Amino acid sequence: MSTVVLLAVTGLGLGGLYFLVASGLSLIYGVMRILNFAHGAFLTVGGYLGYEAGHRFGAQANSWPVFALMLVVGTVAGGLLAVLVELLLIRRLYEREIEQVLVTVGLGLAAVALVSGSWGSDARTFPAPRWMARTTSIFGADVPNLRFACIVAAVLVLLGLQLLLGRTRYGLIIRAGVENRSMVAALGIDVRRTFTAVFGLGGALAGLGGVLTALYNSTVSPGMGDSLLIFAFIVVVIGGLGSVTGSAVAAAGVALLQQFANYYASAGIGDLTVVAALAVVLLLRPSGFVGRQVRLA
């Protein structure tokens, strides 16, 4: 029983990370029709800048205020980087969707290399409040607290996004834009500004995800974004492109599946199972379980 609880909480924690990355990807695709391959870079940069912010405090880095600062720095870094990318690069390629994807590919490669060059390619220990390293006992299982932190963060973000999408005008524009962006323009709304905002929001979520991923792994490394990104893409597609709720459900499902399969079968089977699940979902329902109909690339 305690194993199940541990696996479940670990899975949900990982799912939280997937959700943070996938929700941004999903919105970006939904509104802008871009497969953002630079998303991993936003995560990595957010994680590293958050690391830097905390690292400066030396021994005092393992405290809650510093951790809060790291979260903020990571989120803002991811968001700013994304906004810059959108304004300088993506906008020039309006209506050229394949080129937009390609540019994000190039950026992803370049950014990770730059991070590697600046901080070195070895993993670095990520400072965190001591509470994170301790465990709490639930139903007989000793669960590391940082898993809870990831779950809490993801749930807060989910609620925040629901509020944003459901209760604000911006959210209204985004939801409409996911369905039919040319009609949104035909209502007199400047969709380009929405694009920048959505891209920036996605980047910020990725940056936050970066700090939390580093927390989850206890390290930052240049490749951290890329490995997560594949699973995030899988989550986005299973959950449905453009759907935040879908991403949440899919993230939890995928992560849980991964954890349980990795444990009960053997390490690696979990990853394979997830991949198989993606293939199955796509073949049965190309639009994912919740989201909108996929269009031709």
Q: Where does this chain bind another protein (CB under 8 A)?
A: 29, 35, 37, 89, 92-93, 95-99, 102-103, 105-114, 116-118, 169, 172-173, 175-176, 178-180, 182-191, 226, 230, 233-234, 237, 241, 267-268, 271-272, 275-276, 278-279, 282-283, 286, 294-297
**In the complex, what is the shortest distance from the CB of residue 112 to another protein, in angstroms, rounded to a whole number?**
7
Looking at beta carbons only, is 5 or 189 nearer to another protein?
189
> Can you name the residues that pair with 124 across neighbouring β-strands?
220
Dihedral angle of Cα 230, 171, 250, 21, to the nearest 10 degrees: 30
C-alpha 64/C-alpha 68 separation (Å) is: 6
**In the complex, what is the shortest distance from the CB of residue 150 to another protein, in angstroms, rounded to a whole number?**
23
Ramachandran quadrant class, 21 (left: phi over 0; alpha: psi -120 to 50; beta: rest): alpha
Looking at beta carbons only, is 52 or 271 nearer to another protein?
271
C-alpha 132/C-alpha 130 separation (Å) is: 5
**In the complex, what is the shortest distance from the CB of residue 7 to another protein, in angstroms, rounded to a whole number?**
19
Hunting for tokens 């993606």 — which residue is that? 278
**In the complex, what is the shortest distance from the CB of residue 262 to another protein, in angstroms, rounded to a whole number?**
11
DSSP characters over 148-167: HHHHHHHHHHHHHHHHHHHH
Looking at beta carbons only, is 131 or 170 nearer to another protein?
170
C-alpha 60/C-alpha 179 separation (Å) is: 48
Looking at beta carbons only, is 33 or 55 nearer to another protein?
33
C-alpha 183/C-alpha 175 separation (Å) is: 12
Looking at beta carbons only, is 83 or 272 nearer to another protein?
272
**In the complex, what is the shortest distance from the CB of residue 158 to another protein, in angstroms, rounded to a whole number?**
18
Looking at beta carbons only, is 2 or 118 nearer to another protein?
118
Looking at beta carbons only, is 125 or 227 nearer to another protein?
227
**In the complex, what is the shortest distance from the CB of residue 295 to another protein, in angstroms, rounded to a whole number?**
6
Segments in the chain forming alpha helices (H): 2-32, 39-55, 64-85, 97-119, 130-133, 145-167, 169-179, 181-186, 191-217, 224-239, 244-264, 269-284
What letter would DSSP give residue 94?
Answer: T
Q: Terminal CA-to-CA distance of the chain, rounded, Å?
A: 45
Closest C-alpha among 252, 249, 258, 246 to residue 287: 246
Phi/psi at 141 (5° precision): -100, 140
**In the complex, what is the shortest distance from the CB of residue 199 to another protein, in angstroms, rounded to a whole number?**
16
Looking at beta carbons only, is 1 or 169 nearer to another protein?
169
**In the complex, what is the shortest distance from the CB of residue 27 to another protein, in angstroms, rounded to a whole number?**
14
